[in-house]
Amino acid sequence: MNVGIIGFPQAGKSTLYRAAALGHAKGEVTAVPVPDPRFDRIVSQVRPKKATPATVILHDDVEAIATSGKLFSLRFLEHARKADVLLHVVRAFDSPMSPYHASVNPARDQEAVNVEMVLSDLQTIETRMEKLQKMQATRAPGSPEYNEKMLFDRIKPTIEEGTPIRAIELNEEEQRICRNYQFLSAKQTVVAFNVSEDEASSPPENVKEQIEKLKGIGTQAFAVCATLEEEIAQLDPADQPEYLSSLGLTEPASARLVRAVYDALGLITFFTAGENDTRAWPLRTGSNALKAAATIHNDIAKGFIRAEVVHYGDYDAVGSLDAAYKGGKMQLEGKEYVVKDGDLLHIRNKS
């Protein structure tokens, strides 16, 4: 999962990147483990030679959004379009270092970027439609060009009204077409409102209102003080809970950020527990056992026979996989079994 961090200059996106990378950022791209106490418990019980948590890949290599004229440069578009999800860091603190607006207005800044994403996609669609009009293939029902034209004819009026593509109902084929164009407004966006240090535990009302507004339309959003979070990331993990508590916080930014990304993408986690390697795997909500097998390895999916499934709750109750198996808590499931969050899977396959 590639998370592209975007924002205006001096909004704090690089500071939040370093904080979320837990003080271990190397360059502009860093893999951050997904915090999960269930995985920690499994690892402590299995004691594998190798433990591999699920990760998200944070990208701080997206060029800052311009403060005037055309907001998105070609370099910005190139990097942002490659991301699976965008993290928009919005300035919600007063600072003389911020060069682009005289006043702090997080709603204005967030909405300006959202509008620009829609306009960028609209321009791409209009350019493509001009080319499609000249193609003979668009007159052949079922051809790729015909399907594109039909889709763009349908969604263009809605986009012109300011609606992002992610809010438009699309079938599987239409989603595939949109993925080919890497539309920005089709991507899920997480919004982090970067507040001042004295507002870290109690964000201002205008930020709270914008967070609730965004959540009301299905956009993950939260408030954070990036400078404080960077300090927290530098502490020894054992010292972090006490410092967080003194600030009125319950968890570091990395946990909130990763959870928001998971929720935005509709992800769950399943586990494979082996003595050589115990791993946590992200998976789309509603995916079946065959898709989970393919997430592990395509060859395992090709040779799929059955999935041995232990629900995490059953595992936690008895304390080990052996106890779960002996206690009759293991279920044999076929390809169409819908994987639950926290399931421990072992895929039987033709090797």
| For the chain, percent of residues with pLDDT exceeding 90 | 75
Extract the tokens encoding 48: 């594998």
Residue-level pLDDT at 244: 87
**Residue type (1 letter), 270:** F
What is the residue-wise DSSP string for 194-232? E--GGGSSS--HHHHHHHHHHHHTT--EEEE-HHHHHHH
Q: What is the mean pLDDT of residues 192-216?
A: 92
Q: Is the confidence at residue 1, as pLDDT, over 80?
A: yes
Return the ∠ at Cα 131 (arms to 65 and 70), rounded to 5°: 15
Evaluate whether 306 touches 79 at the Cβ level (below 8 Å): no
Q: What is the mean pLDDT of residues 54-60?
A: 92
Q: Count CB-CB contacts under 10 A for residue 302.
A: 12
* Distance separating alpha carbons of residues 316 and 325, to the nearest angstrom: 13
Q: What is the mean pLDDT of residues 146-167?
A: 95
Q: Map residue 32 onto helix, strand or coil.
A: strand
Q: What is the largest CA-CA distance in the chain?
A: 68
Mean pLDDT over the full length of the chain: 92
Q: Is the confidence at residue 97, as pLDDT, over 70?
A: no
* Distance separating alpha carbons of residues 315 and 59, to the nearest angstrom: 36
**Residue type (1 letter), 106:** P
Residue extent(s) of CATH 3.10.20.30 domains in the chain:
286-349
Q: What is the 3-state secondary structure (H, E, C) of 71-86?
A: CCCHHHHHHHCCCCEE
Residue extent(s) of CATH 3.40.50.300 domains in the chain:
2-264
Residue-level pLDDT at 100: 56
Q: Count CB-CB contacts under 10 A for residue 91.
A: 25
Higher pLDDT, 1 or 119: 119
Q: What is the mean pLDDT of residues 227-231?
A: 91
Query: Cα dihedral sign for 261, 262, 265, 271?
Result: positive
Q: What is the mean pLDDT of residues 68-78?
A: 88
Q: Is the confidence at residue 179, as pLDDT, over 90?
A: yes
Higher pLDDT, 278 or 197: 278
Q: What is the mean pLDDT of residues 294-310?
A: 95
What is the residue-wise DSSP string for 100-135? S-SS--HHHHHHHHHHHHHHHHHHHHHHHHHHHHT-
Order of strands, sheet of 304-310, starting from the edge strand that comes earlier in the sequence? 50-52, 277-284, 267-272, 344-349, 304-310, 331-333
Q: What is the mean pLDDT of residues 302-325?
A: 95
Evaluate whether 194 touches 16 at the Cβ level (below 8 Å): yes
Q: Is the confidence at residue 50, as pLDDT, over 80?
A: yes
Q: What is the mean pLDDT of residues 107-116?
A: 93
Residues 6+ apart with CB under 8 A from 51: 39, 43, 277, 278, 279
| The pairing of beta strand 344-349 with beta strand 304-310 | antiparallel
CATH class of 2-264: alpha beta
At 235-293, the pLDDT tens digits run: 888 888 888 888 888 888 888 888 888 888 899 999 999 999 999 999 999 999 999 99
Residue where the block lists tokens 């060009």: 145
Q: Is the confidence at residue 24, as pLDDT, over 80?
A: no
Short-list 190, 191, 185, 160, CA closest to 170:
185
Residue-level pLDDT at 102: 60
* Distance separating alpha carbons of residues 31 and 59, to the nearest angstrom: 9
Q: What is the mean pLDDT of residues 189-196?
A: 95
Higher pLDDT, 289 or 68: 289
User: Which architecture, in CATH terms, is 286-349?
Assistant: Roll (3.10)
